[in-house]
Amino acid sequence: AIALRASARTKGLLFGAAVNYNNLSSDQAYANLVAQQCGILVPANELKWQALRPSPTQFNFTRADWMAQFARRNGMLFRGHTLVWHNGLPNWFAKTVNKQNAEKFLREHISRVAGHYAGQMHSWDVVNEAIEPRVQRADKLRNTPWLRFLGPDYIDLAFRMAAEADPRAILMYNDFGVEHDTPQAETKRNAILRLLERLKSRGTPIQALGVQGHLFGHPNGVKFTQIGRFLRNIADMGLEIMITELDVNDQQLPRDPAIRDRAVAKIYADFLEVVLDQPAVTAVITWGISDRYTWLASTKPRKDGAGLRPLPFDAQLKPKPAWQSLTSAIAQA
Ligand code: G3I
């Protein structure tokens, strides 16, 4: 079978995955699969503040650098996740960062981190998950330390700082919760459109939107009819689009693994059919690649205790129906 990185490439697309240093560096068979399938590599955690900054004055790039080297050795592009997020912060953050010094911390972080990889990063998630549809504010900006300390302009500021530190990387806003046909997703899609329009109108250097693609199965089935128009609106603004964290939460799907794998594969296929119809979409990146290692196992375990099967390869590293969905969708793109 042809690897996803190769089939994607023939269509001018990128396929890749986000993985953890621990798994990649200790599991040779897994590392081989990642190298074989992925044309772009994303450290799932190693570029977060928590991982890079043991103290307010220290930066530790050891693990992220190892992953950058793994990508280079295997002819893969390397993608940065993430410079500004309300999560993944070190414990010292809350005790140290305040209204008075927040801009200094943000500037130092972005210039040190984006500067460290300048010229080597394909793209950066400059700001991650800044919108929360349930807040009262009209702009739906999430209540984060950055918003409290710097106001809504923290987003513009971060993009300007990133462009200064690495003028070559594609600078992205990345978020989840826009994929399914739900009222809350519609609120989020509208808030993201308004945010991106505001950034563009001010000349803020942003080039792409990351749609995470954390999908979930539901016993009654799920639909992706509304996201097509959203992606068109994004493309009309002149922005590129990448699917950045694709997986399917199968927590609520039937226990039988064969039935479950088919249901998960159908969700991959239905989503990718809509998404890859949009020419502005340039990359499909999964959050993990094998069911052997998935963030869902600890955060969204099944009630029946059966292992989760959200990714294109099973825990034995064998391709699943979801892999076939990816291959077919890419072939038809
Ligand atoms: O590395 C430390 C370790 O030193 C410590 O002993 C241990 C004890 O808790 O924690 C380890 O850090 C954990 C880290 O994963 C690495 O394993 C954090 O506690 C844990 O919170 C962290 O979870 C990650 C989460 O983001 C928060 O950063 C998940 O692995 C990761 O899959 C998840 O990824 C997010 C994306 O960044 C953004 N979009 C949603 C996605 C899924 O939630």
Pocket of ligand 1 contains residue 182 by CB under 6 Å: no
Q: What is the pLDDT of residues 225-258, one digit of tens each?
A: 999 999 999 999 999 999 999 999 999 999 999 9
What pLDDT shows up at residue 280?
A: 98
Kindly report the protein residue whose alpha carbon is nearest to atom 16 of ligand 1.
Answer: 45
* d(CA 85, ligand 1 centre) in Å: 13
Residue 266 has pLDDT above 90, yes or no: yes
Phi and psi dihedrals of 102, rounded to 5?
-60, -45
Pocket of ligand 1 contains residue 87 by CB under 6 Å: yes
> 21 lies in which domain range?
4-331
Pocket of ligand 1 contains residue 144 by CB under 6 Å: no
* CATH code for the domain of 155: 3.20.20.80
Residue 1 has pLDDT above 90, yes or no: no
Q: What is the pLDDT of residues 23-77, one digit of tens each?
A: 999 999 999 999 999 999 999 999 999 999 999 999 999 999 999 999 999 999 9
Q: What is the pLDDT of residues 201-213, one digit of tens each?
A: 999 999 999 999 9
Residue 292 has pLDDT above 90, yes or no: yes
Q: Which of the 8 DSSP states describes residue 308?
A: P
Nearest-atom index, ligand 1, CA of 295: 32
* d(CA 296, ligand 1 centre) in Å: 11
Looking at the 3D structure of the chain, how many domains does it have?
1
Selection from 326, 310, 222 nearest residue 275 by Cα: 326
Cβ–Cβ under 8 Å, residues 137 and 95: no
Q: What is the pLDDT of residues 84-127, one digit of tens each?
A: 999 999 999 999 999 999 999 999 999 999 999 999 999 999 99
Residues of the chain with pLDDT > 90, as a percent, come to: 100
What pLDDT shows up at residue 181?
A: 97
Counting ligand 1 atoms within 8 A of each CB, the residue from 175, 245, 295 with the most, and so the one to mutate, is 295
Residue 198 has pLDDT above 90, yes or no: yes
Kindly report the protein residue whose alpha carbon is nearest to atom 42 of ligand 1.
Answer: 295
265 vs 311: CA distance, rounded Å = 9
Catalytic residues: 245
* d(CA 51, ligand 1 centre) in Å: 9
Selection from 211, 210, 330, 186 nearest residue 272 by Cα: 330
* d(CA 44, ligand 1 centre) in Å: 8
ipTM value? 0.94
Residues of the chain with pLDDT > 70, as a percent, come to: 100
Tokens coding 199: 């950034």
Pocket of ligand 1 contains residue 245 by CB under 6 Å: yes
Kindly report the protein residue whose alpha carbon is nearest to atom 14 of ligand 1.
Answer: 45
140 vs 131: CA distance, rounded Å = 6
Phi and psi dihedrals of 252, rounded to 5?
-105, 10
Residue 314 has pLDDT above 90, yes or no: yes
DSSP helix/strand/coil, 279: coil
Instruction: Report strand pairing: 240-249 vs 214-216.
Output: parallel
